[in-house]
Amino acid sequence: LKIETQVCNTAVSDTIHNYGVKTLNGTQFMPFSHYAGRHVLIVNYVGKCELRDVGFTILGIPCNQFGMQEPGKNNEILSALKYVRPGNGFVPNFQLFEKVDVNGVNEHTLFTFLKNACPPVGDSFGNPTNRLFWEPLKINDIKWNFEKFLVGPDGRPVMRWFPRVNVSEVRADILKYFHQLVQKAD
């Protein structure tokens, strides 16, 4: 069974507010308690993100574990985005953080928490032949770049999306979730 979107366990006792990551330039540690009270979309990629102006904060956290698609150093990422991929002077309109491992023995504790709070999505790992750079592989691992986690204002994960889910579907899911929140409040 291929499930590409999962609702997370919002009864978890932990929150993203207990974690943090250094900003892309590596000079400032950003505790995610800074985002308390806001919906946050965490994406394990820093390229062009077509989800904006929908009522949440986007946090881009790059990773080089999928086909070595983010090989540059942290201080090279912004230039690569601006001039190469996607290029054309692109400047991200969301907060970027330093590269971290999202899977394996060295995975960042934030991603350990997110993966434990949300059921796995998808039924396959991107292109596993010589393209996945971590061990051991686990069913709950992030499958490829662009996997997304929506986190509520209380810091608890709400939803998780498989990387290949179309941006319009992610947007529709988030808007539906926001609509349900408004209905509950009335």
pLDDT given for residue 81 in this prediction = 78
More confident residue, 164 or 55: 164
pLDDT given for residue 116 in this prediction = 97
Q: Give the mean pLDDT of 103-127.
A: 91
pLDDT given for residue 80 in this prediction = 79
- Annotated catalytic residue, options 8, 49, 63, 118: 49
C-alpha dihedral sign at 164, 94, 21, 89: positive
Locate 96 and state its tokens.
């970027």
Instruction: Tell me how far apart the alpha carbons of residues 92 and 89 are, in angstroms, rounded to a whole number.
Output: 10
Q: Give the mean pLDDT of 53-61.
A: 85
Q: Is 101 left (phi over 0), alpha (psi -120 to 50) or beta?
A: beta
More confident residue, 25 or 180: 180
Q: Which helix (H) or strand (E) segment is 31 a member of?
A: strand 29-31
Decide yes or no: CATH 3.40.30.10 for domain 5-185.
yes
- What are the domain boundaries of the chain? 5-185
Strands 40-43 and 57-60: parallel
Least confident window among 9-13, 58-62, 69-73: 69-73
Locate 129 and state its tokens.
């032949």
User: Is residue 49 annotated as part of the catalytic site, yes or no?
Assistant: yes
| Of 1, 10, 2, residue with least CA distance to 159 | 10
Q: Give the mean pLDDT of 118-124.
A: 89
Least confident window among 15-19, 48-52, 130-134: 48-52
More confident residue, 95 or 119: 119
| Of 158, 168, 174, 77, residue with least CA distance to 118 | 158
Locate 71 and state its tokens.
């090989």
Strand order through the sheet with 57-60: 5-7, 157-161, 148-151, 40-43, 57-60, 95-96
Q: What does the mean pLDDT of the chain come to?
A: 88
Q: Give the total residue count for the chain.
A: 186
Q: Which residues pair with 42 in a beta bridge?
A: 59, 149
Confidence category of residue 180, pLDDT binned at 50, 70, 90: very high
pLDDT given for residue 117 in this prediction = 98
